[in-house]
Chains A and B, each alone.
Chain A
Amino acid sequence: MKRFIIIVLFLLNGCSSSIETVPLFIYDGNDAYIKEFEKKIQSVDQNDFLIKTYVSQNSQIIQNEQIDQAFKEKHPLLIINPVDRLSVYAIIEKAKQSNTTIIFFNREPLASDLAAYDKAFYVGADATQSAELQASLIMDLFGNDPKNLNQFDKNHDGIIQALILKGEQGHQDAEARTKFVIERLTVAGYQVEVLDIVIANWDRDIAYGLMDGLLDEYRESMELLISNNDAMALGAIQRMKEKLVFEDTNKNGTIDRDSEPWVPVVGIDGITAAIDSIKSGYLYGTVKNDSQNMALIIIELSKWLLEEKSLTDFPYEITNGKYVWVNYQKMTLDE
């Protein structure tokens, strides 16, 4: 009998505790980018731990409940894509009490919150860098000589007339991208005239709808359309195609920017639809937010943290002991 009990206990033990479970919280299941991101994290080839995904339905209350439950279950590590980056401080305080390690991703907590706990990390891309690369794409387009712009300076006045599609008023990334893209160009010596900044809330349909008014006013003067993300850029292109700002005159399915009507549009994110659009010649370029690489880094960092290895030998650069920045990549027809 005793032996039997021991065997049963052994079996139970063997079933339950041999492998660690790491909870993964994503802010919303309706966000295509985040859903794709979650899949990439889940599909990284590794046998060190299980990942269990919790979807927070874009509600910080729900996420707080889920995280509170995870704390009660005493997981050593949580991977969190927060709903509200301002609420993160409460999670960090709670993690401190139970000495739980947290990796945040995609939505960057306030620097002061993250600095308050040495076991809180952030894996993400720097919004400033995306703006820098977007600026670099624009410089490539105009010939990389601020004093002597090429044929895309349609009116040959040496100034780039630009329209900006802004993500969301007050949104950290939208503000940063909008601000730094112009700043970079200016610093590099380019003269940029911002014709208008319109807010389209990261949304393809809103951008599509806004284009009518913008084209009425700026159709002739506009030399460049800068978008905070790909979705808005694609919405704008769609409307401009209908308004024949883009026209595939020879009907070969692609746009030849030298011979057919075309306006340069740059986006950020590198979603599949944007890459397709680049291939067919409509979208000039985008800056790829490398979620594949980010997923790999999140898994690698999780392994190191679970094994409590020193991060000094971590294969990716760690800034301030807690940030792993994943580089954006420029994507155009040429690159």
Chain B
Amino acid sequence: MIKRLNDLSIGKSIFISILIFTGFLTISTILSNQLIFDRTDRLIESTSKEINKQVIMNYENYLSNMIGISNSLQEYIIDTTQANDFDELSRLFVLTTNIEKNILNVALISEDGLLVASSVDVKINPNILDIEWFLEAKKTPDIHHFSGLHTENFFMLGKKEVFTVSKSVQYFVNNVSTRGVLMIDIDTSNFKTLAQQTNLGEKGHIVISSQAEKVIYSSDPLCYGDDCTSAAILKEIGLGGRLVKWNNLNMYVNVNTIRDTRWKIATFINVNEIVSTKADILIRLILIFALTLFTTSLISSYFTRRITLPMNTLKSHIALIEKGDFESRVHISGLKEVTLLAEAFNTMSNRIRELMDKVFTEQNEKRKTQFIALQNQINPHFLYNTLDSIVSLSENNRNKDVENAIIALSKFFRMSISNEMNLVELKDEIEHVRNYLLIQQIRYQNTFVFDFEIDEEILHHKVIKLSLQPLVENAILHGIHPDDEYSTILIKGYAKDNFLYIEVFNEGYGISKERIQEIHTMIQSNQNTSSMGLKNVYQRLKLYYGDQADLILESELDEYTKVIMKMPLGMEESL
């Protein structure tokens, strides 16, 4: 998993980071909104339930007051009819209508539809036996029946709108118990104003329905009859509260029963503002989110491109280098870090090219040197002369010298031909030179002597192979004169100030200062010259050791010539 993450490109990593960040932000915002919305919902619910309770209690109080009156009247009915005083009962009914202004008519009707007592002097409706409130009261005698809203109908030609409370009651005719129906007509105006006592919000309203789901009353003027929307909602909810859409308004609807009646009441409370505010907030939040996500993606992709584009240029440039092209340069503009990187990269490829050039030259020189050395050493004249000398030694019966000469020659060639390493220990180089000198001594018939003064401690230092021999060769060439006897060649080796010095000293005519200058200029130049030996050594010293190494000529006319090879110490490892 982590490996997979590490493998991602910059662009993808940034995108994923943003995605994760936005995800967290989204989740936390959603959660906190959920909390707020939940609270709002609960607030809506509890507030509307409280309002609903208020409305219902208004109705319950109103109706239970009517039931209380009815119960009292029932007691009076028993009392007065037991006393056979029907006039007194009628007077009581009138009194009741006087005290309770909402009550328009009170009447006791026998089960077969005759008026027993009444608060108004009217003729009873001949169809009384078919009127719903009368039938219902007879059907379920132990409860009060509440009719729907209608015009007065226990007598003919009633005008006022009422609802009727009816109840089957016991009364006495000539001390014989019998049953009748007590009916109370109640004015609806008060009933209606009850709905307006509580603020249900704009277009908030109530609907009261009977058990048979007939609309008894609705405070919404548009809700007429049984098939209005509100009635359908009431029917659908049955009992309890819920948020509904009513004519495109959000309403919290509570459906409840009204105590002691068979009525249901639905309160429609307008919560549109709260709900639509909620929706508003939600839409805005979503918009803000979308916008944020869009901008951050845009910005991130911009930055990603600013980083990855130069990277890709760099990458293709590296591919060029892989193919060997060190000449081209990257030109990158963009972020500071990236341009710095590009500059560093250019410097690096410059340096690589320089190093490669150097290595190339070095290899070239080395090949040349080896070639020259080989050429010198397997010089047929050298071999001829040596062999001639050995022959003349043999003729003089100097057998011991012949033996020495042949051994020296053999060792000399072994060293020259062995082509193992570029560096050899100083003692090996010395040995090689000694053999060379021995051979030359024979050739030149002991016209010179030689000596070594090498410090013990430097014997094991490494030096460039075949670097000393050309100098010695030079010394023999220029320092031996057949007329002089016993000229001396001295080879000194010592360490001083972190430098290794090897001096080749010979007696002789010496070289003028001008000539030394000339030789120095010559060996430092690239031109081919006759004095290939010195030049070759000089070049190799510079290649191997750098500027610190040097080849110095010193001379005094008619006295001596000295060639000094100067090499820094402690560089063998790096070579």
Interface residues of A (CB under 8 A from B): 60-61, 64-65, 67-68, 71-72, 83-84, 86-87, 89-91, 93-94, 97, 110, 112, 168-170, 172, 175, 197, 199
| A64–B74 touching, CB < 8 Å | no
Contacts of B143 in A (CB 8 A): 86, 110
| A87–B240 touching, CB < 8 Å | no
With contacts defined as CB atoms under 8 Å apart, how many contacts are there between chain A and chain B in the complex? 67
Contacts of B52 in A (CB 8 A): 61
Interface segment out of the listed B252-260, B350-358, B388-396? B252-260
CB distance from B77 to the nearest CB of A (A): 11
CB distance from B92 to the nearest CB of A (A): 15
Given A90-B257, A172-B142, A65–B71 Cβ distance below 8 Å? Answer: no
Contacts of B211 in A (CB 8 A): 89
Given A86-B143, A89-B211, A110-B143, A94–B262 Cβ distance below 8 Å? Answer: no
| A94–B144 touching, CB < 8 Å | no
Nearest B-chain residue to A175, judged by Cβ: B142
B465 in the interface, Cβ–Cβ < 8 Å?
Answer: no
Contacts of A87 in B (CB 8 A): 257-259
Contacts of B53 in A (CB 8 A): 61
| B239–A94 touching, CB < 8 Å | yes
Given A60-B257, A87-B257, A170–B239 Cβ distance below 8 Å? Answer: no
| A170–B238 touching, CB < 8 Å | no
New contact pairs (18) apart from A61-B57, A86-B262, CB-CB < 8 Å: A60-B259, A61-B256, A68-B240, A71-B240, A83-B259, A84-B257, A84-B259, A86-B260, A87-B258, A89-B211, A89-B262, A90-B255, A90-B257, A169-B71, A170-B67, A170-B74, A170-B144, A175-B142
Alpha-carbon separation in the docked complex, A199 to B71 (Å) = 10
Contacts of B71 in A (CB 8 A): 168-170
CB distance from A223 to the nearest CB of B (A): 20
Alpha-carbon separation in the docked complex, A61 to B74 (Å) = 28
Alpha-carbon separation in the docked complex, A175 to B169 (Å) = 11
Nearest B-chain residue to A62, judged by Cβ: B53
CB distance from B139 to the nearest CB of A (A): 9
| B238–A97 touching, CB < 8 Å | yes
| A199–B75 touching, CB < 8 Å | yes
Alpha-carbon separation in the docked complex, A145 to B530 (Å) = 172
- Among A83, A87, A172, find the residue whose CB has the most chain B CB atoms closer than 10 A: A87
On chain B, the number of residues with a Cβ less than 8 Å from chain A's Cβ atoms is 31
| B239–A64 touching, CB < 8 Å | yes
Contacts of B70 in A (CB 8 A): 170
Alpha-carbon separation in the docked complex, A306 to B19 (Å) = 51
| A90–B67 touching, CB < 8 Å | no
B204 in the interface, Cβ–Cβ < 8 Å?
Answer: no
The 6 nearest A-B residue pairs measured at CB: A68-B240, A87-B257, A169-B71, A84-B259, A94-B239, A90-B239
Alpha-carbon separation in the docked complex, A90 to B258 (Å) = 10
CB distance from A30 to the nearest CB of B (A): 17
- Among A60, A72, A197, find the residue whose CB has the most chain B CB atoms closer than 10 A: A60
Alpha-carbon separation in the docked complex, A94 to B238 (Å) = 6
CB distance from B368 to the nearest CB of A (A): 73
Can you name 8 A-B residue pairings with CB atoms under 8 Å?
Answer: A61-B52, A61-B53, A64-B239, A90-B255, A90-B257, A91-B239, A97-B238, A169-B72
B49 in the interface, Cβ–Cβ < 8 Å?
Answer: yes
Alpha-carbon separation in the docked complex, A212 to B530 (Å) = 163
B205 in the interface, Cβ–Cβ < 8 Å?
Answer: no
| A169–B259 touching, CB < 8 Å | no
Within 8 A of A (CB), among B221-279: 238-241, 255-262, 264
Secondary structure type dominating chain A contacts? helix
User: Which of A61, A86, A91, A93 lies in contact with B56, CB distance below 8 A?
Assistant: A61
B312 in the interface, Cβ–Cβ < 8 Å?
Answer: no
Contacts of A91 in B (CB 8 A): 239
Nearest B-chain residue to A91, judged by Cβ: B239
B347 in the interface, Cβ–Cβ < 8 Å?
Answer: no
- Among B70, B143, B240, B241, find the residue whose CB has the most chain A CB atoms closer than 10 A: B240
Contacts of A175 in B (CB 8 A): 142
B535 in the interface, Cβ–Cβ < 8 Å?
Answer: no
Contacts of B261 in A (CB 8 A): 86
CB distance from B21 to the nearest CB of A (A): 24
Contacts of B65 in A (CB 8 A): none
Contacts of B256 in A (CB 8 A): 60-61, 64, 90
Contacts of A61 in B (CB 8 A): 52-53, 56-57, 256
- Among A65, A72, A172, find the residue whose CB has the most chain B CB atoms closer than 10 A: A65
Alpha-carbon separation in the docked complex, A89 to B53 (Å) = 19
CB distance from B52 to the nearest CB of A (A): 8
Within 8 A of A (CB), among B138-162: 140, 142-144
CB distance from A240 to the nearest CB of B (A): 23
- Contact string, B30-53, partner A, CB cutoff 8 A, digits 1/0? 000000000000000000010011
Given A93-B238, A169-B71, A199-B75, A64–B257 Cβ distance below 8 Å? Answer: yes
Alpha-carbon separation in the docked complex, A91 to B262 (Å) = 12
Alpha-carbon separation in the docked complex, A91 to B258 (Å) = 13
Nearest A-chain residue to B143, judged by Cβ: A86
Contacts of A172 in B (CB 8 A): 142
B167 in the interface, Cβ–Cβ < 8 Å?
Answer: yes
Contacts of A94 in B (CB 8 A): 238-240
Contacts of A67 in B (CB 8 A): 239
B449 in the interface, Cβ–Cβ < 8 Å?
Answer: no
B78 in the interface, Cβ–Cβ < 8 Å?
Answer: yes
Alpha-carbon separation in the docked complex, A90 to B237 (Å) = 10
User: Which of B56, B241, B259 lies in contact with A68, CB distance below 8 A?
Assistant: B241
Alpha-carbon separation in the docked complex, A289 to B75 (Å) = 28
Contacts of B49 in A (CB 8 A): 65
Within 8 A of A (CB), among B49-92: 49, 52-53, 56-57, 67, 70-72, 74-75, 78
| A170–B257 touching, CB < 8 Å | no
Alpha-carbon separation in the docked complex, A172 to B140 (Å) = 11
Alpha-carbon separation in the docked complex, A67 to B238 (Å) = 12
Contacts of B260 in A (CB 8 A): 84, 86
Nearest A-chain residue to B211, judged by Cβ: A89
CB distance from B96 to the nearest CB of A (A): 15
CB distance from B255 to the nearest CB of A (A): 8
CB distance from A288 to the nearest CB of B (A): 24
Alpha-carbon separation in the docked complex, A84 to B264 (Å) = 13
| A93–B140 touching, CB < 8 Å | no
Alpha-carbon separation in the docked complex, A64 to B239 (Å) = 7
- Among A86, A93, A199, find the residue whose CB has the most chain B CB atoms closer than 10 A: A86
| B167–A170 touching, CB < 8 Å | yes
Nearest A-chain residue to B139, judged by Cβ: A112
Contacts of B240 in A (CB 8 A): 64-65, 68, 71-72, 94
Contacts of B78 in A (CB 8 A): 197
CB distance from A92 to the nearest CB of B (A): 10
| B67–A68 touching, CB < 8 Å | no
Alpha-carbon separation in the docked complex, A290 to B167 (Å) = 32
Nearest B-chain residue to A87, judged by Cβ: B257
CB distance from B57 to the nearest CB of A (A): 8
CB distance from B493 to the nearest CB of A (A): 77
Given A169-B71, A170-B71, A197-B78, A110–B259 Cβ distance below 8 Å? Answer: no
